[in-house]
Amino acid sequence: MRKIRIFEHISLDGVIEHDENYVYGAWTTPYRSPAGMAMLLEAYGISFDLLLGRNTYDTWSGFWPDAGDFPMANALNAATKYVATHRCEGLEWGPVKDLGEDIIEGLRKLKSSDGHDLVLSGSTSLISLLLDAGLIDDVTLIVYPVILGKGKRLFTDSFDARELEYVSTLTTPTGVLLNTYKHLGSLKK
């Protein structure tokens, strides 16, 4: 049985947005280090598949295939990409498979099959949907020592409360924390 594992790069105030159109652009860049990359790759695991929403897939497919020859690019490019989409055209960054019309049912079947764990990053709508459906196993927040104030956040105010159990924390030389939690389910009132 596969696990579905969330990995999100996040500021101290919950912002996950970091692309060329965002006011602060590549705010994670100053905190990158070879040791941090090694920790992140180890956290992802030796082999993994990707679980992506369509917008994240489209963004990543415009970058990672041409990112060069280094461990993270090689791992992401080699991974099978499972994409939550209702339009299959343009899925060219492979290997790639769409999850079908019923995303939740498609993921239940995929999760119960043999294979690599599924790494979910970006794709905030998909994260909320899968947490609500109880399909997420682990959450790793890659927390940067910045407060951005504005930008797209990991969760909206309409998100239902969840309970997590602490697993571990790793710290990079630049102060980035890799906090891993086990997803337990809905927070009890």
For 101-118, how does the pLDDT look when each residue is reduced to its tens digit (9 = 90+)? 899 999 999 999 999 999
Closest CA to 188 of 151, 165, 163: 163
Cβ of 104: how many Cβ atoms within 10 Å? Answer: 15
The pair phi, psi for residue 28, each rounded to 5°, is: -80, -20
Interval 66-111: pLDDT, tens: 988 988 889 999 999 999 887 777 788 989 998 888 999 999 999 9
Q: What are the residue boundaries of the structural domains of the chain, listed by start?
A: 4-186
pTM comes to 0.90
**CATH number corresponding to 4-186:** 3.40.430.10
Tokens of 75: 């791992």
DSSP of 125-145 = HHHHHHHHTT---EEEEEEES
Q: How far is CA 127 from CA 67, 77, 135, 139, 182, in A?
A: 26, 22, 10, 10, 14
